[in-house]
Structure 1
Amino acid sequence: MNPLKQAYSSLFLSRRFFIGIGVLVLLFTLSFILPWLFLPAKVIFFLFCLIPIAEIVFLFTGKGISAERTLINKFSNGDENPIRLSLHSQFAFPCRIEVYDELPPEWQVRNFYKSLTLKPGDTQTILYTYRPTRRGAYSFGHIQVLASMGPGLVQRKIQGGSPQEIVVYPSYLSMLKYEYLAISNTLIDSGIKKIRRIGQHSEFEKIKDYVPGDDFRTINWKATARRGKLMANLFQDERSQQVYCIIDKGRVMNQPFENMTLLDHAINASLVLANIAIKKYDKAGLITFDEEQVQMLPASRKSGHMLRFQEMLYRQSTRFLESDYERLFLKLKHQVTQRSLLILFTNFDTVSSMQRRLPYIKAMAKNHLLLVVFFENTETLELIHKKARNTHDVYRKMVAEKVRYEKEQIVAELRKNGILSLLSSPADLTLNTINRYLELKARGMI
């Protein structure tokens, strides 16, 4: 591009310029009434013409501002992800800059704007975060910088950075968070309940020195007699149990909560739960199903399994139709022959919708330990607890209470048929699911 044309396309008149035009018009208008204002108005007009020319000369001399964007390798869906902008001034004078980052158009963010002042040779960093709500691949554009100096009547647009691609995966940041807590045995600090183990569903690991606080029933008297001091048996949880996360991809999972679909909430919870299960020496597997097909990742705890688990979750999407539970049952019957813990993520709005699927749910529960996880409508809870101010509010509260009653009836109906259930809000889904898994494990049910 021609340098002159390029400079012209990069030149912007600031808001201050138009305010100055307005002030000049006002002064010249008032000078008809107050003649003594005419001379000051002419002086200001002369300066007003001179200053922008000087600013243009200084701003368009030299390289100006360099800008770079730094992203993490992949974004975590539903979490705050850091974005870093580095700005370096190559001007020989202090300047003010306005920074506009071109975020992916699918995110519909049009108000990103940062303003700061840079000294000559100065480098500053802008750190901000963004919470994506949908998985997929997205493209960042350039970084647009508007630089000005002095009175700031004109601005020079400088385009920095380069377009970048980023993929949004299921919430691996939550997975890493709970993994760290599991390794450091501080899960209870994040809301995970401490559950006492019931029964003797443990495997012998080794003999150790008895210390105060150990269960006296674990004392190994033969080893104590040989060593001349108290020795105790150390047990560990039963290992290599199969845990399958089963995700319904039907239309019922497309309902939104905090800009994320129930499907994405279930995907995030499944990823975290699978990682916790593997850290607890169980095998984690994944099954997703819709009206046409059932996809399966066999349970395993081998190296690299979580990467395959994450990749499979990344590709899932809803088909907006009702899922085929019969197809799911047949898949489980032929592919999952060992008794396993099945955690089914789905949603029921009415008792009748659950009863249509109940025969297949009962059939799955015959050979496996089945936990049905479905979602509480938090908006109805807010309506129930909100004070009614008029007749319209009363009707809305009645409808909300009916919806809540339906959910309670679904839990009761599942319990009557001997099926475990978990009714959870989307926000607490991960925490509640982990708690229930640990509870079932502590009770020796898996």
Structure 2
Amino acid sequence: MIYPTSRAVLLMAVGAPVALLIGLISPGYWVVGGGWAALIVGLVLLDAFIGPARARVELTLDSPRALGMAGEGALKVKAVFDRGAPRRAEIAVETNERLVAAPDRLSAEFHAGEAEASTTLTPLRRGEGEIQNVWLRWRGPLGLVWKQVREAPERKIAIIPNIQAVKDEAIRMFSREALFGLKTQLETGDGSEFHALRELVGGMDPRTIDWKQSARHTKLLAKEFRTERNHPVVFAIDSGRLMCDPLLGAPRIDRALNAALLLAYVSLRLGDRAGIFAFDAKPRVFSGVLSGVGAFPLLQRVASAIDYSTEETNFTLGLTQLAGALERRSLVVIFTDFADTTSAELMLENVARLMRKHLVLFVVLRDEELEAIARREPVDADDVSRAVTAEALLREREVVTGRLRRLGAHIVDAPADRLGPALISAYLDLKRRELM
């Protein structure tokens, strides 16, 4: 695109009243106005012709592939002219509603035909950010025209939950377990998978003696076991309307994703496999069951694709499709919420069906705000009404969790800010007890 600058418009505007005045004083010289306009148009065309051509510039972008909430990233824009570069250019960046670029207008100076400018990308909400358009414009040598090129890179940036703090907590937890021998106990100890033979020493269980191998080697050898690995751990995340309501300043689904990604990191580190499945009125995303710590970035990108929803959750469709996609017995970690026992009936029915083949760990986000309302000393009639309602809701939640326990589900009931560590503890307990 080529268009006139404000200088060209100003010159054209200045000539108009002068030409009008000359025409009024001496009508025979009215052609001066036309001549002035023609001169300016000619200069504009000359400026457009002699300046650096639009086809000779190449724009490249360097941006992060993922950004964590409450984090920042740099977007670098580089412009290269193969010849005849201008001295200075302006750059503008357009993003979608999930990202903000600050500043969104940049200035860059060219040296040896190259210029580079950078801006800061800040995520506004979890999901998929996008750099939609990048503009580069520069003036002609006379300063009368702008030459502009536009790139539509459609560069996707996954905006993932900010789990750096909980990831650091997981690393510290691993360090503490290594110090006290707990991590080693998970790998070698009272598991069911044969690991190695070792010479019998004091304190070992005599029942682990392998008599055939002991006779062959003429010394007592005992079997050493370790906990089984390669177990599928699948996070079934309800992304429906209730899970998008806030809890302690953040949507419930964001807190669920933080905890799920933390446990995914731990389970991958311990040799298990992990996958994320999200559903509301219908299934939305499924990562498949992945193995290896190198799969963790992919799980983060899948988590970023789980959008906030206003639809009611269809447990029948969601959990049935999940059960059909799982080929072997898995640990299914369910993150959901319910308003009352009536709305939880379908959930309970489908969880019971899922438990016929799989081990279910059901996560309950403790609503501390609701508990505070129920405990608060009433001052007026409205306080009494709120306290009674809150107590009734809490009682119904206890009824549902009680029914889940009787069905055989394992329950994690923890405050929102301690959900991740509580979930890890429950997972490690299931591994120690060989329930997976």
Which TM-score bucket, shorter chain as reference? 0.5 to 0.7
Equivalent position of 1:171 in the other structure: 162
Equivalent position of 1:387 in the other structure: 377
Equivalent position of 1:432 in the other structure: 422
Question: Does the C-alpha gap of structure 1 residues 234 and 245 become closer, same or farther in structure 2, counting only changes over 3 Å?
Answer: same
Question: Does the C-alpha gap of structure 1 residues 375 and 221 become closer, same or farther in structure 2, counting only changes over 3 Å?
Answer: closer
Q: Could you state the TM-score of these two structures normalised by the residue count of structure 1? A: 0.59
SS of the residue 1:331 aligns to: helix
SS of the residue 1:186 aligns to: helix
CA distance in structure 2 between the aligned counterparts of 1:259 and 1:250, rounded to whole angstroms: 18
In structure 2, give the amino acid aligned to 1:381. Answer: E
Equivalent position of 1:376 in the other structure: 366
- Residue 386 (structure 1) shift: 2.5
SS of the residue 1:318 aligns to: coil
CA distance in structure 1 between the aligned counterparts of 2:409 and 2:229, rounded to whole angstroms: 24
CA distance in structure 1 between the aligned counterparts of 2:375 and 2:98, rounded to whole angstroms: 33
- Equivalent in 60, 76, 80 of residue 68 of structure 2: 76
CA distance in structure 1 between the aligned counterparts of 2:172 and 2:220, rounded to whole angstroms: 32
CA distance in structure 2 between the aligned counterparts of 1:437 and 1:266, rounded to whole angstroms: 15
- Residue 318 (structure 1) shift: 2.6
Equivalent position of 1:300 in the other structure: 290
Question: Does the C-alpha gap of structure 1 residues 238 and 221 become closer, same or farther in structure 2, counting only changes over 3 Å?
Answer: closer
Equivalent position of 2:251 in the other structure: 261
- Residue 309 (structure 1) shift: 1.2
Provide, for residues 11-47 of structure 1, a one-character-per-residue CA deviation record: whole Å limited to 9, x for no partner.
xxxxxxxxxxxxxxxxxxxxxxxxxxxxxxxxxxxxx
Contact 2:265 2:296 in 1 (8 A): yes
SS of the residue 1:326 aligns to: helix
Provide, for residues 331-378 of structure 1, a one-character-per-residue CA deviation record: whole Å limited to 9, x for no partner.
234321211111111101211111132222211111111122232221
Equivalent position of 2:394 in the other structure: 404
Q: Could you state the TM-score of these two structures normalised by the residue count of structure 2? A: 0.60
SS of the residue 1:416 aligns to: helix
Provide, for residues 194-246 of structure 1, a one-character-per-residue CA deviation record: whole Å limited to 9, x for no partner.
9x98x9542121234667xx752066476778889876543221111111101
SS of the residue 1:397 aligns to: helix
CA distance in structure 2 between the aligned counterparts of 1:249 and 1:312, rounded to whole angstroms: 13
Equivalent position of 2:172 in the other structure: 181
- Equivalent in 403, 408, 427 of residue 418 of structure 1: 408
- Equivalent in 190, 205, 228 of residue 217 of structure 1: 205
In structure 1, give the amino acid aligned to 2:412. Answer: L
CA distance in structure 2 between the aligned counterparts of 1:231 and 1:185, rounded to whole angstroms: 31
- Equivalent in 347, 358, 362 of residue 348 of structure 2: 358
Equivalent position of 2:333 in the other structure: 343
- Residue 419 (structure 1) shift: 3.0
SS of the residue 2:337 aligns to: coil
Provide, for residues 276-295 of structure 1, a one-character-per-residue CA deviation record: whole Å limited to 9, x for no partner.
11112111122111213343
CA distance in structure 1 between the aligned counterparts of 2:176 and 2:238, rounded to whole angstroms: 32
Equivalent position of 1:24 in the other structure: none
SS of the residue 1:380 aligns to: helix
In structure 2, give the amino acid aligned to 1:403. Answer: L
- Residue 445 (structure 1) shift: 1.1
CA distance in structure 2 between the aligned counterparts of 1:220 and 1:357, rounded to whole angstroms: 48
Equivalent position of 2:273 in the other structure: 283
SS of the residue 1:366 aligns to: coil
In structure 1, give the amino acid aligned to 2:395. Answer: Y
- Residue 133 (structure 1) shift: 6.3
Question: Does the C-alpha gap of structure 1 residues 167 and 364 become closer, same or farther in structure 2, counting only changes over 3 Å?
Answer: closer
- Residue 422 (structure 1) shift: 2.8
Equivalent position of 2:129 in the other structure: 137
Contact 1:133 1:259 in 2 (8 A): no
RMSD, aligned CA: 4.6
Contact 1:208 1:232 in 2 (8 A): yes
Greater mean deviation of Cα atoms: 411-420 or 229-238: 229-238
Percent of pairs identical after alignment? 24
Contact 1:277 1:284 in 2 (8 A): yes
CA distance in structure 1 between the aligned counterparts of 2:326 and 2:406, rounded to whole angstroms: 25
Question: Does the C-alpha gap of structure 1 residues 108 and 302 become closer, same or farther in structure 2, counting only changes over 3 Å?
Answer: closer
- Residue 167 (structure 1) shift: 5.7
Is 1:443 the equivalent of 2:433?
yes
Equivalent position of 2:108 in the other structure: none
SS of the residue 2:307 aligns to: coil
CA distance in structure 1 between the aligned counterparts of 2:301 and 2:276, rounded to whole angstroms: 11
CA distance in structure 1 between the aligned counterparts of 2:123 and 2:393, rounded to whole angstroms: 30
Unaligned runs of 5+ in 2: 7-62, 75-94, 101-121, 132-155
CA distance in structure 2 between the aligned counterparts of 1:433 and 1:426, rounded to whole angstroms: 11
SS of the residue 1:285 aligns to: strand
